[in-house]
């Protein structure tokens, strides 16, 4: 190749970007930026590590963002759950704090019969009458059953559930006869002969003295005594653990289960419920009572048509329902539902990503427990208010009766607080008549370790109300949260750092946040003492009540038109509207309650009842209580109403 050709080739290489330079070298000075001809293994490793770290961070972010969502995989993959082989086994392996509690559920609708005595057309008659008894644990999850309930508003409850007068005389009698009475019989009374003297009987006091004397010389180790509620082979010490000579009780309705993958999915919004069918019933009715919406029920029944054409479930059938929460929904939705007959799998329906229910394969097999159970999401339990509604609708209780039940407890309890696992409710009602009307006769609500009971009683003038065992109504003469909806608690009574002055001082009231303009009600009947602008309280109203009680309402946006000192107001009357006047950091009601000018905590102070049953009715009322308590313990009639 001649020199001219070499020059041309060199020119072409230069034009193409070729650089005539020394070869690459690995002799780069550590710590310095390598030049164009030097390679640094430390710099190369840093670049590679930076790229890998970025990739892992992006992958982790994507994984977390999709975890638990319903749109990242197929329905079966999203809902696949591995259950332990024996769900009723005792916990033997080590568990972590991620184990989700599983509790037994109770749901009983029972018909009981009693022979009662009534006066009809001047004659005293004895006849059989059926009653409906409901005993149930409170619902631990909110479903479509309670999605349409009215917003919690204590004042509106008061207006809807005032005691009323009735012409109905079919209140259960205070005279109960044996349940074996057939048909109707007439009762006639004959005066005793004037010389008749009844035989002497032992008094309660004599009986108590006799038993005291007997027990003073005996012990539990002897053979003289036995407890009627345990077998002869049992010992009284078996009833609980003996500590410091005190016998402690045994926790009832509590089950412990092996840890399962269900608690490891990181999604606390999914939980499974296992129920049994007490008596043959329609699929539609069973699904509705377990919180399925009407649309969901129809879709699932249509999906089951080819594999389970029947529209009913037989007695003893079981359902396994996996509930979950969809995006932008506060109600639980069935993600998967499986039917078992004689503990054999029949069909499974699962929710797809597109919102359709399709047939799926059976979930992992389990040994079914004897009782109905459900997993509990303790971090997302419903409020007492919604749980009562959910439970009542599950048992087909009319809404007007549920309203009345809520009103009985609205003055004693903060119904916006969540329930606790194991809380329960019991009711006694008349069976529905031809117009599907029924009356509530008794209600018992167990929350934690306390139980509150109310009994229906009708006075001679026809006034119907509910009283506790002391003859007092649930209504108190002052409301604790006197504004529409009850407000949201923002600051309690007690010492605190003032949000504006930043000094520690006693907060003499309760701050209830609510939207601007929310109506504020009079806590009770009283007389207006002040209605004006009052220093840092802003627009302010003070009411005087009986027995030294006063209430005050501060920071209102405006006072009710025409309200002035000396005016009489009734409980529930609008006296102003929520605002943020005076020393305030946002829209709220500052509510104060004082007794003899001493500030008290309105949310916890014990308040007198609004109404007490007159003394002349006490004996009849006590008889009625004894009668109702007896009915609550009586065995059910042979025909049992289905409950699921």
CATH of residue 317's domain is: 3.10.450.350
Could you tell me the CA-to-CA distances from 80 to 64, 74, 322, 431 in Å, in that order? 19, 10, 11, 43
Of 373, 207, 184, residue with least CA distance to 274: 373
- Measure the CA angle with vertex 300, ends 298 and 304; round to 5°: 115
Q: Is the separation of the CB atoms in 512 and 492 below 8 Å?
A: no
Please state, as a whole number, how many other Cβ atoms lie within 10 Å of the Cβ of residue 517. Answer: 13
Q: Is the separation of the CB atoms in 266 and 299 below 8 Å?
A: no
Lowest mean per-residue pLDDT among 71-85, 98-112, 268-282? 71-85
Q: Is the separation of the CB atoms in 282 and 339 below 8 Å?
A: no
What pLDDT does residue 606 have?
A: 77
Mean pLDDT of 241-254: 43
Domain CATH number, residue 516? 2.70.70.10
Could you tell me the CA-to-CA distances from 77 to 73, 253, 348 in Å, in that order? 6, 34, 14
Q: Which two tokens stand for residue 617?
A: 């009715």
Confidence category of residue 151, pLDDT binned at 50, 70, 90 = confident
- DSSP string for 166-226: -----SPPS-EE-TT--SEEEE---PPPTT--PPP---HHHHHHHHHHHHHT--TTSSS--
Mean pLDDT of 478-490: 86
Q: Is the separation of the CB atoms in 299 and 287 below 8 Å?
A: no
Helices (H), 67-183: 75-79, 154-160
What pLDDT does residue 446 have?
A: 92
351, 368, 385 - which closes a domain: 368
Asked if residue 434 has pLDDT above 80, the reply is yes
Q: What phi, psi does 615 have (nearest 5°)?
A: -60, -35
What pLDDT does residue 171 have?
A: 46
- Ordered strands of the 373-375 beta sheet: 102-104, 373-375, 271-276, 318-325, 332-341, 344-351, 357-359
Asked if residue 168 has pLDDT above 50, the reply is no
Q: Is the separation of the CB atoms in 401 and 141 below 8 Å?
A: no
Asked if residue 379 has pLDDT above 80, the reply is no
Q: Which two tokens stand for residue 109?
A: 């609708």
Q: Which two tokens stand for residue 120?
A: 């009809």
DSSP H/E element including 41 = helix 41-66
Confidence category of residue 254, pLDDT binned at 50, 70, 90 = very low
Residue 380 belongs to a domain: no
Mean pLDDT of 405-421: 82
Helices (H), 505-574: none
312, 334, 368 - which closes a domain: 368
Q: Is the separation of the CB atoms in 109 and 641 below 8 Å?
A: yes
Q: Is the separation of the CB atoms in 416 and 383 below 8 Å?
A: yes
Confidence category of residue 201, pLDDT binned at 50, 70, 90 = low
Of 489, 478, 550, residue with least CA distance to 521: 478
Lowest mean per-residue pLDDT among 34-48, 50-64, 136-150, 350-364? 34-48
What pLDDT does residue 623 have?
A: 87
Which residues have CB under 8 Å from 366's CB, separation 6+?
83, 84, 85, 86, 87
Residue 296 belongs to a domain: yes
Residue 390 belongs to a domain: no
- DSSP string for 582-632: SS-SSSEEEEEEEETTEEE-TTTS---BS-B--GGGHHHHHHHHHHHHHHH
Q: Quick one: three-class SS letters along 296-308? A: HHHHHHHHHCCCC
Query: How much of the chain, in percent, has pLDDT values that exceed 90?
Result: 16
333, 368, 403 - which closes a domain: 368
Confidence category of residue 68, pLDDT binned at 50, 70, 90 = very low
Asked if residue 427 has pLDDT above 90, the reply is yes
Q: How many folded domains does the chain comprise?
A: 2
Asked if residue 215 has pLDDT above 60, the reply is no
Which residues have CB under 8 Å from 212's CB, separation 6+?
none
Asked if residue 80 has pLDDT above 80, the reply is no
Residue 349 belongs to a domain: yes
Which residues have CB under 8 Å from 372's CB, separation 6+?
104, 105, 106, 107, 273, 274, 275, 276
Residue 544 belongs to a domain: yes
Of 124, 134, 63, 90, residue with least CA distance to 428: 134
Of 531, 595, 610, residue with least CA distance to 569: 531
Asked if residue 96 has pLDDT above 50, the reply is no
Residue 537 belongs to a domain: yes
Query: How much of the chain, in percent, has pLDDT values that exceed 70?
Result: 67
Is the model more confident about 36 or about 437? 437
DSSP H/E element including 565 = none
Mean pLDDT of 566-594: 91
Indicate the pTM of the whole model. 0.58
Lowest mean per-residue pLDDT among 171-175, 426-430, 458-462, 503-507? 171-175
Lowest mean per-residue pLDDT among 206-220, 283-297, 367-381, 572-586? 206-220
Instruction: Report which listed range, 329-343, 378-392, 469-483, is most confident.
Output: 378-392
Of 616, 614, 634, residue with least CA distance to 626: 634
Mean pLDDT of 386-410: 89
Q: Is the separation of the CB atoms in 378 and 276 below 8 Å?
A: no
- Measure the CA angle with vertex 561, ends 559 and 563; round to 5°: 75
Q: Is the separation of the CB atoms in 152 and 413 below 8 Å?
A: no
Q: Is the separation of the CB atoms in 536 and 580 below 8 Å?
A: no
Residue 41 belongs to a domain: no
Q: Is the separation of the CB atoms in 619 and 433 below 8 Å?
A: no
What residue numbers bound the domain in which 278 lies? Answer: 76-98+256-368
Residue 318 belongs to a domain: yes
């Amino acid at each position: 190749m001649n020199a001219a050709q070499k020059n041309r080739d060199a020119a072409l290489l230069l034009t193409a970007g070729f650089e005539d330079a020394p070869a690459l070298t690995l002799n780069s000075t550590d710590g310095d930026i390598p030049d164009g001809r030097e390679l640094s293994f430390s710099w190369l490793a840093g670049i590679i590590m930076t790229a890998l770290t970025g990739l892992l961070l992006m992958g982790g972010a994507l994984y977390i963002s999709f975890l638990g969502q319903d749109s990242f995989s197929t329905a079966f993959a999203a809902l696949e759950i591995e259950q332990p082989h024996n769900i009723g086994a005792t916990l033997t392996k080590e568990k972590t704090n991620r184990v989700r509690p599983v509790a037994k559920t109770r749901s009983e609708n029972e018909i009981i019969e009693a022979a009662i005595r009534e006066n009809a057309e001047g004659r005293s008659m004895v006849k059989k009458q059926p009653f409906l008894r409901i005993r149930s644990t409170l619902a631990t999850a909110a479903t479509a059953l309670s999605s349409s309930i009215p917003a919690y508003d204590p004042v509106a409850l008061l207006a809807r559930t005032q005691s009323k007068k009735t012409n109905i005389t079919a209140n259960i009698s205070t005279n109960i006869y044996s349940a074996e009475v057939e048909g109707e019989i007439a009762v006639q009374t004959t005066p005793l002969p004037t010389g008749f003297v009844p035989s002497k009987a032992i008094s309660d006091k004599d009986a108590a003295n006799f038993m005291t004397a007997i027990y003073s010389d005996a012990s539990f180790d002897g053979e003289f005594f036995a407890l009627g509620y345990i077998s002869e082979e049992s010992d009284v010490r078996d009833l609980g653990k003996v500590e410091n000579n005190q016998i402690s009780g045994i926790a009832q309705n509590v089950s412990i289960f092996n840890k399962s993958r269900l608690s490891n999915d990181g999604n606390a919004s999914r939980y499974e419920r296992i129920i049994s069918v007490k008596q043959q019933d329609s699929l539609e009715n069973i699904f509705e009572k377990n919180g399925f919406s009407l649309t969901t029920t129809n879709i699932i029944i249509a999906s089951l048509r080819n594999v389970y054409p029947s529209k009913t479930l037989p007695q003893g059938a079981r359902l396994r329902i996996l509930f979950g929460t969809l995006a932008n929904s506060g109600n639980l939705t069935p993600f998967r539902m499986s039917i078992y007959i004689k503990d054999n799998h029949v069909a499974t329906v699962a929710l797809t990503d597109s919102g359709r229910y399709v047939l799926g394969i059976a979930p992992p097999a389990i040994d079914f427990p004897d009782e109905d159970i459900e997993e509990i999401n303790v971090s997302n339990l419903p409020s007492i208010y919604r749980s009562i509604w959910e439970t009542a609708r599950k048992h087909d209780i009319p809404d007007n009766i549920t309203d009345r039940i809520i009103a009985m407890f609205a003055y004693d309890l903060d119904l916006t607080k969540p329930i606790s696992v194991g809380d329960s409710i019991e009711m006694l009602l008349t069976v529905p008549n031809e117009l599907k009307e029924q009356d509530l006769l008794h209600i018992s609500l167990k929350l934690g370790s306390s139980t509150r009971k109310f009994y229906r009683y009708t006075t001679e003038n026809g006034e119907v109300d509910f009283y506790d065992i002391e003859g007092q109504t649930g209504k108190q003469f002052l409301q604790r949260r006197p504004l529409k909806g009850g407000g949201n608690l923002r600051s309690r009574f007690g010492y605190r750092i003032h949000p504006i002055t930043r000094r520690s001082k006693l907060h003499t009231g309760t701050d209830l946040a609510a939207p601007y303009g929310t109506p504020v009600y009079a806590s009770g009947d009283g007389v207006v003492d002040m209605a004006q602008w009052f220093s840092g309280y802003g627009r302010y109203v003070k009411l005087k009540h009986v027995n030294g009680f006063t209430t005050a309402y501060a920071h209102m946006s405006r006072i009710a038109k025409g309200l002035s000192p000396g005016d009489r107001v009734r409980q529930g009357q609008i006296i102003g509207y929520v605002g943020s006047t005076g020393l305030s950091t946002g829209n709220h009601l500052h509510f104060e309650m004082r007794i003899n000018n001493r500030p008290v905590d309105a949310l916890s102070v014990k308040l007198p009842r609004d109404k007490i049953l007159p003394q002349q009715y006490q004996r009849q009322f006590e008889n009625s209580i004894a009668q109702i308590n007896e009915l609550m313990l009586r065995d059910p009639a042979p025909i049992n109403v289905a409950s699921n």
